[in-house]
Structure 1
Amino acid sequence: MEKLLLEDFTKYKFLSNIKYSPKGDKIAFTLHRMDLEENKYLSNIYVYDLKGKDSMKLTSNDSENSFIFKDNDTLLFPTIRDEKDKKRKEKGEDFTPFYEISLKGGEANKIFEIPLNVLDIKIIDDQNYLLLALYDINKPNLKNLSKEEKEKVLEKYKEEKDYEVLDEIPFWSNGQGFTNKKRARLYIYNIKEDELTPITDHFTNVSCFNLNKDKSQVVLIANSFIDKMKLSNDLYIYHIKEKHLEKITHEEPFSYSYADFLEDEIIFVGSNMKSYGINENPHIYLMKGNRDINMLTPTDFDYSLYNSVGSDCRYGNSTSIKVDGKYLYFVTTEYDSSFINRINRNGDIEKLTIEKGSIDGFDVFDEKIIFIGLRGLKLQELYALNNYKEKQLTNFNEWVVENKKLSTPEKINFETENGINIEGWILKPVDFDENKKYPGILDIHGGPKTVYGEVFFHEMQYWANEGYVVFFCNPRGSDGRGNEFADIRGKYGTIDYDDIMKFTDIVLEKYPFIDEDRLGVTGGSYGGFMTNWIIGHTKRFKAAASQRSISNWISKFATTDIGYFFVEDQQASTPWKDVEKLWFHSPLKYADKVVTPTLFIHSEEDYRCWLAEGLQMFTSLKYHGVESKLVLFKGENHELSRSGKPKHRVRRLKEITQWFNKHLK
């Protein structure tokens, strides 16, 4: 067995976008890999034949991220392949070419082009498509212009790129850049007539849409705003033949997260946010034809309906909720794992997976389930589910568990002073020697409403291979334990800090081979906030690495993409209601108490926990004579550690490891 190396993660394969064919005899999915030399991700469509039980690479252009089935043997997907199209894109023209390819092999052929940047597409019939596309009210319409006219308009628009005019909030979004007056707009596109018919207006942002069985209606979730985006949104039905958009919102305010047709009725997911704010766990509801509402989930149903199990070994997007037949299938996070469940119109809930780990996406056909999973210390693979039993179908990443030294997480449970059970884990160094003393790294997850589990985490396994003990836990504020456990609004840095420090005490007591004089702490996002908080409240850590962090709730409020509503909700205040409360919960307040050498990792285009948060903390530590360093990644955002460019991800982990090596070894 070989040591796991820092760069090994650049050889991992990542799976996403899994879909059954219309007859259910094949599965298509996207496989992603890294090209370190070109510093990018290569994505291609694969097909798995359930009868032949083998997979085949269908595309090889390295740029196919999404697709839909046109029929059982044909895929439709957006891509830029033609050199002329590439040049048009470079000049700023908005359009999306669509290609089709046979699952039996052969060349992909371009069949139509839509004059918008398409985000999602569904088939209505042979001539009509339902699509979600990015609409910018300030961008010129190029339709029906000659080539020369287009070039003149684009050249003039290019001059405007030197300016950003802001007149609404949020005005930017992490991973998307400036979003002022840009919306995800719903359209119907007719291929024969080359005609786009907008369904929603240019101030409405659509987040979810689904067709009914006979393709006569669309149910959609949308948020309409001009000056300030609302936290609530609305539910609509669009009647295709009548060209009529009908608002059917059942309660205001309400936050809808998913809607679809269940047989002849509408099933939707959401919360009124009245008891636990924006992170409140949702319920599942059924809307009958007369618009009467039934809550299908029981009142004590208390799970988030998504996968929040952390890992740094994913790329791409996948479905985590879907209607099939008479059921709504959905993912729940429960304690340290996520599971597939289903519910019928009577409210009967059945948990379909029982194995621990992470469900990273799934699809359903006639009650048969296929999913992408993280199981044990294995990286992503495809699995088939049959009567609660899982069968692994692929072996893209099997070489990792077969050839590399890995450390198995050991669970540590403890109780808080209030008798609340907290889950934690420890990774011993590989080739562990009980007679040696080892440095330790406390790793804190983001969120805070996410969880650590027992799945593969590259950075932790790499540190275990480098001779570190790695320990981590799910303190109060984490997901998987219900609303009350996750609710730390107005309490950041108090009960969560107590849980993490008690966990550290227990780890040091239970595992005397950890050198308490050589402890490091790190984390990103909320974990970065907590790292900043910890170094201002204790001297026990000899080194810290704060990533994409929060240091000042007052400055975060009016500068980040979610700041104006996240800060008010999570800190229970605004700069005008109680500025002292925001300052009390800000790590920057305690920066003059810090003695811990600290590395700050930030991305230039992180608009979630933006650069100014790291700069303030870095400057303050330097001002007070504390050894510190800030490494800024240009062209990256909040997702640096999860989907940043390959070379940047290598550099990030190298910087953190070298910092810990310098101070802990």
Structure 2
Amino acid sequence: MKKHITEADLTQLVSVTNPQYSPDGKRLAYVQTEVNKELDAYDAQIMVYDFEKQKSVQWTFEKGRNQHPRWSPDGSNLVFTSNRDETEQVYLLNINGGEATKLTNIPHGVSQPIWSPDGTQLLCSVRLTKDESATDKQKQKLKDDQPVEIDTISYKVDGQGLKRGAYTQLVLINRETGEVRQLTNHERDHHSYTFSPCGKKIAFCANMMKLSGARVSDVYIMTLATGEIKRVTTQSGAFSSLSYSPDGQQLAFLGHQQEFKNATIQKAWLYNVNDNNLQCLTEMFDVHLSDVVISDSLIGGELPHPIWTKDSKGFYTVGTDNGSTGIYYISTEGLVYPIRIEKEHLNGFCLHPDETGFVAAIALPVWPSELYHISFDGIIKRLTNANQAFVEGHMISEPEEIQFETKDGLTIHGWLIKPTQYEKEKTYPLILQIHGGPHVMYGHTYFHEFQVLTAQGHAVIYVNPRGSHGYGQDFVNRVRGDYGGADYEDIMGAVNYVLQQYDFIDQSRIGVTGGSYGGFMTNWIVSHSNKFKAAVTQRSISNWISFYGVSDIGYFFTKWQVGADLFDDFEYLWDRSPLKYVDQVETPLLILHGERDDRCPIEQGEQLFTALKKRGKEVKLIRFPNASHNLSRNGHPKQRTKRLQYMTDWFKTYL
């Protein structure tokens, strides 16, 4: 008999991600991540699917995170990273078996190795301060009471904490000797790196602007023999995901020129190595080329760089559209067409070496992530069954798509999930879910939190209001400068639409919750409407004025998104702050906040709690020690479970 889904069931979910074909196409390496209940952590293991035997075999067994598998060019070895010895290091496995060999012993830890074309070297990244070197035998130890010197505006990152002057540098590791060669030493982060097919050059992304706080990411090419660096983009955009064509003549990457700041749709670009020509291939294509679907069932996903065809005439990449993610082909002449775009969350893929098909990691609304082989003639086969036991053992409610028109002519798209044991003639409470970002997207994917709520007898509605990705450039840009305006109307309009269309909803029992931007909107809603009988605000924003100086992104986000700088229009920021309107709040409010949230720092929740409590309002604050902004997605399993329990208990009490 199938069971109801509970908060604790999130520990049963398995993440299947990062598929990588072997060069001969006979094997497929991937990462399988599960909860380690004993350690209150996650174990990620390297799995290998054998196409001849049609089954998967586990290749790593050490506890911790074994991830980022990459086959050697000749297919004889597989490298991966592992934190089994405290710091993350590179390990090598021979396909004929045996124990993994530790290739690096860098005290700072090593990330994301990629092979040189000849298989003799590995290009990796290491976090170092200006006083450290990748060849150091010991890492500088910092005491908790040691002062931290700060001289840059970007001095902390959510989930990482204080940077302490450390930046991501690139290093080469000799496959045979383990010798380390540090390639970069600028006080800047270097990322999205790749080898040229000849192996004589690498390309990478970095922000080399001297202006403190400049938000750019340029593409650079380095000649390995001399260390000479050449910039190929314009110091005005944000680029990443680099990939050389097989003939070495072209470099493809994704990004934009920040025409709409961080609300700009990501496009495909092409740099011609020979004539030094840079062009945007998808200028007229109104689809965001990345995966921005928000979910709480995936751990450790990794988006592939553009994947070229052998003839160097085009490449494949992921795109986000209308609640779905899929694969698009883009030719070097700028022709774009979808290879696969279904009602699903395709969160990673790899192309078969003979280019007859691909393997994709796909999550469905009623089935968490698995690997699927999809041939170009349309035949699809599921390769893994990591979540089969969970799916077959639980009652999972299938979302129903909804859409309605706004007063100004936009179409708002979303979903309604009925209670798991829905019965006609009965009425049920409704819970509105609001996503963060705001430039992400709810989609056709499994969302555990929603299933927990429906299992407890609630209906759940979630929509993509203006500001969400997936519906074109104009749509995603419309929220900027109007937080709490038309976006508020979109969200409230969704609730009104559902109340009109579905008579099983008890209009006297409606709740609302959301995190980050969704937390801001939850705060805004309860301070501007008494429609809701219970609310849970998570990792929220209540005061744009203080947010400016305490968030890791506040110094630019406030201007780019809310539409005003602290010193240009103080009153406007205060007018858009929910804290200003606390006297109007009548809805019982639960505040959930991580104490190490550097994106929306906990002082945002504290201010709101204090103001409401002082006025005698019904409010409670729950603090999660050491939790960052991503608590609900990749925080400690026990805290994630407890967070869900606090939420469901609040709705049980007040709905």
Q: What interval of TM-score do these two structures reach, taking the shorter chain for normalisation? A: over 0.9
Partner residue in 1 for 2:114:
122
Q: Is the 8 A contact 1:523 1:530 kept in 2?
A: yes
Q: Distance in 2 between matches of 1:457 and 1:238?
A: 42
- Counterpart secondary structure, 2:557: helix
Q: Is the aligned partner of 1:514 residue 2:505?
A: yes
Gaps of 5+ in 1: 90-95, 145-149
Q: Distance in 2 between matches of 1:105 and 1:636?
A: 39
Q: Distance in 2 between matches of 1:348 and 1:477?
A: 27
Give deviations 1:241-267, integer Å, cap 9, x for gaps: 233222222x23122123221231122
| 1:483-494 superposed matches below 5 A | 483-487=473-477, 488-494=479-485
Q: How big is the shift at 1:2?
A: 2.0
Partner residue in 1 for 2:244:
261
Q: Distance in 1 between matches of 2:616 and 2:466?
A: 33
Q: Which amino acid aligns with 1:397?
A: N
Compared with structure 1, are the counterparts of its residues 9 and 591 closer, same or farther at alpha carbon in structure 2 (3 Å cutoff)?
same
Q: Is the aligned partner of 1:339 residue 2:326?
A: yes
Q: How big is the shift at 1:55?
A: 0.4
Q: Distance in 2 between matches of 1:97 and 1:42?
A: 16
Q: How big is the shift at 1:395?
A: 1.0
Q: Is the aligned partner of 1:643 residue 2:634?
A: yes
Q: Is the 8 A contact 1:58 1:103 kept in 2?
A: no
Compared with structure 1, are the counterparts of its residues 603 and 17 closer, same or farther at alpha carbon in structure 2 (3 Å cutoff)?
same
| 1:256-655 superposed matches below 5 A | 256-262=239-245, 263=247, 264-274=249-259, 276-288=260-272, 289-297=274-282, 299-324=283-308, 325=310, 326=312, 327-366=314-353, 367=355, 368-387=357-376, 388-487=378-477, 488-655=479-646
Q: How big is the shift at 1:126?
A: 5.0
Percent identity, aligned pairs only, is 34
Of the structure 1 ranges 61-70 and 520-529, higher mean CA displacement relative to structure 2 is found in 61-70
Of the structure 1 ranges 169-178 and 403-412, higher mean CA displacement relative to structure 2 is found in 403-412
Partner residue in 2 for 1:245:
229
Q: How big is the shift at 1:379?
A: 0.7
Of the structure 1 ranges 313-322 and 473-482, higher mean CA displacement relative to structure 2 is found in 313-322
Q: How big is the shift at 1:424?
A: 2.2
Q: Is the 8 A contact 1:519 1:541 kept in 2?
A: yes
Moved over 4 A (4+): 138-142, 191-195
Gaps of 5+ in 2: none
Q: Equivalent of 1:228, from 212, 217, 220?
A: 212
Q: Is the 8 A contact 2:419 2:455 kept in 1?
A: yes
Q: Which amino acid aligns with 1:40?
A: A
Indicate the RMSD between aligned Cα atoms, in angstroms. 2.0
Q: Could you tell me the TM-score, scaled by structure 2's length?
A: 0.94
Partner residue in 2 for 1:60:
61
Q: Equivalent of 1:102, from 94, 100, 103?
A: 94
Q: How big is the shift at 1:127?
A: 4.3
Q: How big is the shift at 1:160?
A: 6.6
Q: Which amino acid aligns with 1:14?
A: S
Q: Could you tell me the TM-score, scaled by structure 1's length?
A: 0.92
Q: Is the aligned partner of 1:216 residue 2:217?
A: no
Q: Distance in 2 between matches of 1:128 and 1:410?
A: 50
Partner residue in 2 for 1:74:
77
Q: Which amino acid aligns with 2:447?
A: F
Q: How big is the shift at 1:193?
A: 6.3
Q: Is the 8 A contact 2:18 2:361 kept in 1?
A: no
Of the structure 1 ranges 308-317 and 70-79, higher mean CA displacement relative to structure 2 is found in 70-79
Q: Which amino acid aligns with 2:496?
A: D
Q: Is the 8 A contact 2:232 2:278 kept in 1?
A: no
Compared with structure 1, are the counterparts of its residues 192 and 61 closer, same or farther at alpha carbon in structure 2 (3 Å cutoff)?
closer
Q: How big is the shift at 1:455?
A: 2.1
Give deviations 1:608-638, integer Å, cap 9, x for gaps: 1110111111111111111111111112111
Of the structure 1 ranges 456-465 and 316-325, higher mean CA displacement relative to structure 2 is found in 316-325
Give deviations 1:256-284, integer Å, cap 9, x for gaps: 1232212311222221112x222201322
Q: How big is the shift at 1:224?
A: 2.4
User: How many residue pairs get matched?
Assistant: 641
Partner residue in 2 for 1:131:
124
Q: Which amino acid aligns with 1:246?
A: K
Q: Which amino acid aligns with 1:598?
A: L
Q: Which amino acid aligns with 2:125?
A: L
Q: How big is the shift at 1:516?
A: 1.4
Q: Distance in 1 between matches of 2:171 and 2:494?
A: 52
Q: Distance in 2 between matches of 1:282 and 1:140?
A: 35
Q: How big is the shift at 1:537?
A: 0.3
